[in-house]
Every structure is written in C-alpha cells, then in structure tokens.
Chains A and B, each alone.
Chain A
Amino acid sequence: MPPFFRLSLRKGEKAMDLGIFLGITLLAVTFLSLLRQTRPELAVLLSAAAGVIIFLRLIGPLQELVRTFEYLAAQAQINLVYLQTVFRVMGVAYLTGFTAQICRDAGEGALALKLEMAGKVIILFLAVPVLVAILETVLRML
C-alpha cells in the first residue's frame, strides 16, 4: 500500500460512508417533492445544492484515488504527463456533466447540450498531446 492511503479519515470514521449519501439524497428528495409544485425555482437550487454536497463528500476519497494512481504510475515509471491528462479529462467530464445536469433539471436541455459540446471540445483539446505522442511512436516504428 502507498504510505499516504488512509482507509479512515478520522478514528472510527470511514472514508467512504455509504449511509451519508443515502441520507442526503433521501432528505433532498423529501424536500424537493414539497417544493417542486409551489416553488420550482427553489427546487432547482435545492437539487443543485444536494448534488454539490454529494460531490464535495466524494472529493476526499477521489483525491486519495488520484494520488494512488500517481504513485502506481511513478512505480511503473510511466510518464506522469499522460496520467495528468487522464485526470484532467476526468475533471472536465465531471464538472461539465454536473453542470449540464443542473441545466436539465431547470428544463434547459438545449443549454445542457451546448455545455456538453464545450466539454467534449475541451477534452479533445486536452487529448491532443497524447494523440500526437501515439502517432509519433507509430511513425518511429515504421
């Protein structure tokens, strides 16, 4: 195991506690069903807040995973640039997917589609160095 990987953040507290996610989601759903008919504009914000809270609680374990993968890559002597590209693509995908979902929730499907389009272009942009490296390797082999 890498030295920094901790299965529990504090004593007696699991890093990944499923119960808290279930609780947050059910709580948000209960209040959402109350607000959806009378105050749809607040319902959108409430569902966005619930989503953000779930994501924020996932950030810590996600960071541990990222660091573990970086550790493994360093052990295998893989160029860290490629791994960082993968992580950047993951981050862009998470953020655009999350924001697009909020847009869909507010009934703006068209805007969500455009945001996802932007995310795809940015991901392609980030992937260009890897693509070039692969093609250069292939050309060297020929």
Chain B
Amino acid sequence: MNPELQRYLWLELTPHRLLVTPLLLLALFALVHLLADQGTLRALAEVSYWVVLAIGVLWGGRVAGEAVSGELAHGTWDQQRLSSLGPWAMTWGKLLGAAVFTWYACAPCIVLIALGARPDAPALDAPGDALLLVTIVLFCHAIGLLGSLHLAARGRIESGRWGMLLQLAGLALAVPLLLVGIAAFGAGWSGEVRWFGMDVTLRVFVWCSAMAFTAWAVTACYRLMRVELQLRNAPWVWIAFVLFCMGYAAGFAWSGEPSAVVLIDGARIDAERLALLSAHASALGLGYLMLLLEAKDPVAWAMLLDAVRRGRIATALEHMPRWACVLPLLAAVTLAAWWWDVAGRLLCASLLVFFVRDAALVVLLNLGARPARADTAALLYLMVLYVLLPAVVLAAGGSAHGWLLPSMHGDLASAVLPGALQAALLWWLVRARWRRHQAAWH
C-alpha cells in the first residue's frame, strides 16, 4: 500500500469515527424515511446529494487543502520531501488519503444516489450519475491540494489569507459543476449543449467536462508536487492546459452555423470569430490567475536571465514564469484576429498590452522592500486602475477607454498605444529596480 495513504488511514479512520459515522448517517436516513411523502429511495438519493455536497465537497476540499499546508505548519513537510517516495505516489497518496474519511462518509450516500435514480431513467444512467458525483468530489479535493501546493511554493509562510482565497476559488470552480449535476439529476438530464456545432446531451457534456477538468487538476497537483520534491518541470503541460481551455471556451462560441452573428458593443461579430475572442479571453484569464497566484522568486528570475544569456533554452524554460508562457499564445491569437480582420481585433491587442502592463506592475511590487505583501498590494492597485479611476473619469464626463480600460474602438494609436506606453514605462522601472536589487545582492 502507498505509505502516505497508509499514514492517513491511521490518522483519519480512527475506531471512533468508523463507528459513529454510520450511526449518524443511519439516523439521518431514518429521519428522511419517516418524513418522505413519496418514494423513500428517491428522497434518500436527493438528501444524499446534499450530504455529499457538505461532506465530500466542502469538508473534503478543506482537508485536502490542508494536506501540505498543514504539514508545513507542523514542521513535517521537509521530512516528507526527504523521503524517496516519487511525486506521483506522493500525489495520489495525499489526494485520496487526506480526505479518506470524507470518502468513508460519502460512500453510502453515493450508493443511494446510484440506486435512487429516476424510475424512467435508463438503467445505466444511475451508476453514471454516481460516477459523475465521485469525479466532481475528486475534482474539489484536487483543487484543494493544488491550492495547498501553491501555498508551499509561495514560501511556506502564508496560510490563512491565501489559503481561504484559494479554497473559495476552488469551490467557485467546483460548485457550478455540482449544481448542474444536481439540477440535471432532478430534471432527468434533459437538455443539450451546443459545442463546436455539435449538439451534445447535457449528461454527456457535463460528464466529459468533469472528467477532463479532474484529470487536469490531478495533473497539476502532480506537476507542483514534482517541484516540491526538487524535480524540474518544463512549461509544456501548462501550455497544453491553456490551449485546452482556449479550445473548450471557443467551442461554446463556434456554433457551426456560418450565418450566426453576435453583437458586441454595437459591433457585429460572426460566431467563428467570436470563438477566437473566447479563446483569447480564457488564455488571458489563466494568465492573470498565474500572475497573482504563482510564487515570485527573484532567484529564479536571475537564473532565468542567466540561462537566457548562456543560451540554455531548457533551463530557461524551467524557470520561465507560467504567466509569461501565456504571452506567446495571446500574441498568436491577436495576430490571427488581425489577419482574419475580426471586429474585436483591437480589443485583443488592447487586452494583451494591458496584461503586459499589469505583469510589470506585479513584478515591480515583488521586487520592492516588502515582497510578502506585494501580490495583495498589486490586487489593490489593479482594482484602483480598473474600477476606481475609470469611475472617476466617467463621472467627470470623460472616457477611460484606451488609457485606463482596454478598448475595441478607434485605431491602434487610441486603443493600443496608451496601454503600450504604460507597459513600457513600468517595465523600464522594473529594469531599474532589478539592477539596484542585483547590485545590493552581490
């Protein structure tokens, strides 16, 4: 048995818990049976959904989120890193082990869900629903573990604030999937999703999406675990994930009907070209996510610059910040939009330069005297730049587009140049601060 899983079994499945949990569930199910005014099995299945939501998703996500940060707090993580256990064994041992008690509590509920499918549903659908639920719960746990590993990578010091933020971000991603599952379960999975012009049944679409994103989440855990165990990662898997998300998002816009037209801010955009903008938006979102979440390590930046100077491409890629890996993809989509003469091409270019500006702001603050607070400060400055200042300008009767907000109107000079100038200024400041930093360092 995986020794990490074995350790969790010892710690989590105490005799007391093993005995009391089934008794509590039995009491709950007895209450439902007594109160149910129609089919008991169906009522039990619906209650079981909520039990899984509470125990599997909320509690399980929480304990999975403490799998590494808890060890950091108790001083045991370095001992784990000194083990000869491989990153994959460590990942799945923690993923299943940290939340093993919640699986123990959820198992009877999942069985009830499988048994309590609608009487008119095809026989194979009930196990499918249960499997979907298992996948979504696993996704939540993987997101929790991912957040925990991110905290470890960010210097092993931050716990409460960022831990809670990551937890909420994970739930924000997972709960919609779960709610769709619940709604679809109640409605007997009626409805279809149009994706890349294909009409896919809701059941199949949700099932495939859950499987795919869970696989990506587990892969991300494995990749971050490799870093924790002092192994090196090239950015290809991250780039593949960004490309996957770009394709996934584009699929919703790509209707497959040439005549489909969408109006955005007065501009007519046909559906195929809207798909390009969707891809751009999803890559941009992931870029910002990594810009704020990723550990900023000046030592790694120095090693990156050194590797670039020496022409060591592989080493440079290992140290490349993941937000920077998104830039070529954004640039490629922007060029494609330009070449294709998409109505939103100016918006793509404008968003790109604003992203480059914001990256400079985050890097600049992280090179400051108090890097521990840099990301929080950056978040605050970005809110000021994108919300407060435009509101002031708007209230004064002016227009914030171009200088304060990305714009899709006008020409290059008015929509892109202001952002590009701000980006250039901030990167010049980064360069100056980096030189001072290096001079003090050596």
B and A form one assembly: no
Residues of B at under 8 Å CB distance from A? Answer: none
